[in-house]
Structure 1
């Protein structure tokens, strides 16, 4: 084998490896998975009356910065509320009186959990609970209520 052929094989090999790495990074990004979570996480829960279309692995953010993800979602058999478990990065500590709300990215984007830090001197710990929550705003409900109220007003004037 000539030196030029070996150089060509090496170059092709580098491109294949770079392509596989790019594909793996794309798969992690699409799957909303972060491979380099070296600091670890701690779990807290929050109860919501309605989570809309929130899904496991959805981002948890503070001021637009990702600080964790939704680990899993269950239902409380007593209160019939959705119990959302959040895995928060250990490098971030949040006051015990922080609040959580379910937001939508853009008009029809994916839903995520937004945290608003409180002012307490005590912090949430592993197994802690966020007590102040705001459920998802369901766009379909708002539109149907708007249409229903408009229909009610227009039929009253006939």
Structure 2
């Protein structure tokens, strides 16, 4: 008779452990489940070297979203990013998207410079003004070999 209470207690703690693992996986993985607080816009760049999916999107140093998809437009010879932006942020069609480097390690992120007088960009719209990533290795090699 005393065997069942021990098994019940062990089962209860195993269940709590599984719930804790699932919760931490969702929180640490930054999984967006059942949330509809972002909208998607696209931006095309000549070069996005070092940028990855889930790279942050910032405006004035504040994170406002992340990169959700990276594709190649072979017709126009451009890299096309899909950016997930918080709905509370309204981007205007004269906003500028730039690929920037953060810190000494060289993590890349997308910086949005807000526009001033344009129309709002709708869901699935396009940021027209873009600035590609600066390749530090290319600049150093040009300096070393005297092609500056």
Tell me the TM-score normalized by structure 1. 0.74
Whether 2:35 is the aligned partner of 1:38: answer: yes
What are the within-5 Å matches in structure 2 for residues 3-82 of structure 1? 21-22=23-24, 25-26=27-28, 28=29, 33-35=30-32, 38-82=35-79
Report matched runs for 1:132-143 at 5 Å. 132-143=129-140
TM-score calculated relative to the size of structure 2: 0.78
Say if 1:103 and 1:111, in contact at 8 Å, map to a contact too: yes
Q: How far off is 1:89 after superposition?
A: 1.3
The alpha-carbon deviation at position 140 of structure 1 amounts to 0.9
Shift of 1:129: 0.8
CA distance in 2 between counterparts of 1:121 and 1:83 reads: 22
Higher strand share: 2
**Cα separation, 2, equivalents of 1:37 and 1:92:** 20
Question: Equivalents in 1 of 2:35, 2:102: separation in Å?
Answer: 27
- 1:17, CA displacement in angstroms? 6.5
Cα-to-partner distance string for 1:46-97 (whole Å, 9 max, x where unaligned): 1111001111111111011111111111111211110111111112111110
Structure 1 residue runs of 5 or longer lacking an equivalent are 2-8, 154-158
Matched residue count = 145
The answer to whether the aligner puts 1:118 opposite 2:145 as a matched pair is no
- Distance across 2 between alignment mates of 1:49 and 1:141: 15
Bigger helix share: 1
1:84 to 76, 81, 85: 81
Structure 1, residues 9-50: CA drift from partner, whole Å, max 9, x if none?
999x98997677556533x2xxxx354783422111111110
Inter-partner Cα distance in structure 2 for 1:17 and 1:85: 33
Cα distance, 1:121 vs structure 2? 4.3
